[in-house]
Each structure stands twice: as C-alpha cells, then as structure tokens.
Amino acid sequence: MMFMLTGWAGAVAATNFTEDMMTDTATASDLSRTATSSRLRFENLSMVFPDGTHAIDDVSFTVDPGEFVTVVGPSGCGKSTLLRIASGLTEHTGGVCEGNRDSIGYVFQDATLLPWRTVQKNVELNAELQGIDRNERKRRATEAIELVNLVGHEGKYPKQLSGGMKMRCSLARSLVLNPEVFLFDEPFGALDEISRERLNDELINLFRSEKFAALFITHSIAEAVFLSTRVLVMSARPGRLIGDYAIPFGAERPHDIRFEPEFAEICGLINNDLKDAHS
Ligand code: ADP
C-alpha cells in the first residue's frame, strides 16, 4: 500500500478525541525528524509528573522496522504514559525519546468514532483533516476498509457496529495515512475473547502486509506473545523494564500456535515476571 506520508500532528490529533488528549500540548523537543535506523528509540527515559508522581524510570529500548514490541505491566506502571511520550502528547522529563513523528498512527481502547459519520466517512476523516482530495481519500479509505475486513459495512453508523467492528474502523482510519509506526493502547481490551483473538489474527496479517513498526500495550499475556516479536515486562510504578523476551515464532502466526507448548512456556515466564512486578 503506497500512501504519501503526512504530518504527525494531524494523524495523532485525528485519532484522539478524548478530552484530556486534545488539551495536552504536543511538544517535540527530543524527537528528531531525521530518519533513524530505529523507528522509535527510548534511552534512560524517565517521567515525573508536575505533582511528583514518578511514572517511568530509566527505560531503554528500540522499536525497529519490522518489529512488533509489546509492553505488559501492572496497572499504573506507566505504559500509557510511554505511548503518549512516543507520540509527543506528553513531554518526558529525563532521557531520550527519538523517532519519526511524521508518520505515527495511534489506536486506543475507545474507538472514538464520530457517531454522525458512516464507516466510510469515519475512515476518511484523517485524510480529510490532512487536506487530501476527495477521490484520493475515497480510494485510500476503500483500500483500508478492505484491509480490516469491513467491506459491506461502509454505509453503517457506529451505533450499528459491534465492538470488534468499531475497532476495525478505528484501525482503518489510521491506516489511510500509512504510518511507519503504530502505537496501540490496549485496543482490544474491551472485547470478548473470541473477538479479540480474531482481531489479533487480523492484526498479524496487517503487520505482515503493511510492515509498520508497532508498540503495543496489553494486559493479556497471550495476546502479547501471539502478536509480538518482542515482549517487555514493566515493574510497578515507577515503571522499569524487568523482563525482555524475544518471541521465537516466525512472521506467520497460525491461530493454533496459542496451544503450542512453547507458547505456554513463554506465557508462564512472563506471568512469573508479572507476579514479581506486583509484589
Ligand atoms: P498504565 O498505562 O500503566 O496503567 P499510566 O501511564 O496511565 O499507567 O500512569 C502511570 C502513573 O502516572 C499512574 O500512577 C497515573 O496515576 C500517573 N499519571 C498519569 N498521568 C498523570 C498526570 N497527568 N499527572 C499526574 N500523574 C499522572
């Protein structure tokens, strides 16, 4: 899929309609606009909020092209803050965060679709905000709708969609800008297990075909292992990295890989880390 790359501010702003996000200031002090070999790089990153809350401490890792990195950790350990720093919505207080902000997609648990717009028009929204002409945005939206398996639902409104379909729509809305980096903040957390697994299967296929770099957050260990090339475990706040697992499965992830002994073994190791993280 070949799309013109467009400004990060539109891509991020257009996928963020929660009030707190819209009031945040997007500062870009440490994010370089020059190309780096890593799509995202954090080095000794720390974050202390103005009220003294120490959210993140000394976190270093990279997300390279073709990598799908997932962060798991206890609630409140700083995972969402990490994504907000990566996108520029929150400014970190220490260390380095580097990446190409010209090309970031951001997907949240809340699909944040506009209720008065159809699927087609919701998916076109980011392209519209970027000033892309009508025919081109229609073409891109049609392609993105195909990629997320929403063909036949283009004329429906959000209230007519299931939770899974809303997430597909949200994903398609970001895909129209063809981002190099996708940030996922627990996108499937509100779905039932079967819908979630189906969307995981679809996301793996998208990742393989579209070749973006992904930074994903979830509470589900199985989801993390299934989707990722690498899983990082964070401690309780202030979040530090306490586990780092290269996932030894190839790019193709058949549905049944979830029932392999090796899959269960890695899940067990991560589970142990998380137990330590909570204690
Ligand atoms: P997670 O995504 O891992 O659940 P968050 O990144 O949302 O955690 O939050 C990490 C910690 O920082 C939490 O204790 C949260 O209450 C705190 N926090 C988040 N945003 C702010 C803020 N704007 N001001 C002060 N504390 C915050």
Q: Is residue 164 part of a domain?
A: yes
Residues 6+ positions from 109 with CB-CB distance below 8 Å: 185, 186, 187, 188, 189, 190
pLDDT in tens, 29-48: 333 333 446 789 999 999 99
Residue 195 clears pLDDT 90, i.e. is over it: no
Pairing of strands 40-48, 241-246: unpaired
Q: Can you give the pLDDT at residue 270?
A: 96
pLDDT in tens, 104-124: 888 888 889 999 999 999 999
Q: Is residue 41 part of a domain?
A: no
> Residue of the nearest CA to atom 15 in ligand 1?
76
Domain extent, residue 96, equals 68-278
CATH at 195: 3.40.50.300
Q: Is residue 113 part of a domain?
A: yes
For a ligand 1 pocket test, name from 81, 186, 235, 241 the mutation site with the most ligand atoms within 8 angstroms of its C-beta: 81
Q: List ligand 1's pocket residues with C-beta within 6 A.
A: 49, 51, 53, 55, 73, 75-81, 237
CA 82 to centroid of ligand 1, rounded, Å:
10
Count the domains in the chain.
1
Beta bridge partners of 97: 42
Torsion angle defined by CA atoms of residues 79, 54, 43 and 185, in that order, rounded to the nearest 10 degrees: 10
- pTM as predicted: 0.85
Q: Is residue 248 part of a domain?
A: yes
Q: Is residue 12 part of a domain?
A: no
Residue 156 clears pLDDT 60, i.e. is over it: yes
> Residue of the nearest CA to atom 7 in ligand 1?
80
> Residue of the nearest CA to atom 13 in ligand 1?
76
Q: Is residue 111 part of a domain?
A: yes
pLDDT in tens, 206-258: 898 888 899 999 999 999 999 999 999 999 999 999 999 999 999 889 999 99
Residues 6+ positions from 206 with CB-CB distance below 8 Å: 147, 148, 171, 175
Count Cβ atoms below 10 Å from residue 243 Cβ, excluding itself: 18
CA 74 to centroid of ligand 1, rounded, Å:
12
Q: Can you give the pLDDT at residue 279?
A: 64
Q: Is residue 56 part of a domain?
A: no
Q: Is residue 8 part of a domain?
A: no
What ligand 1 atom has the least distance to the C-alpha of 234? Answer: 3
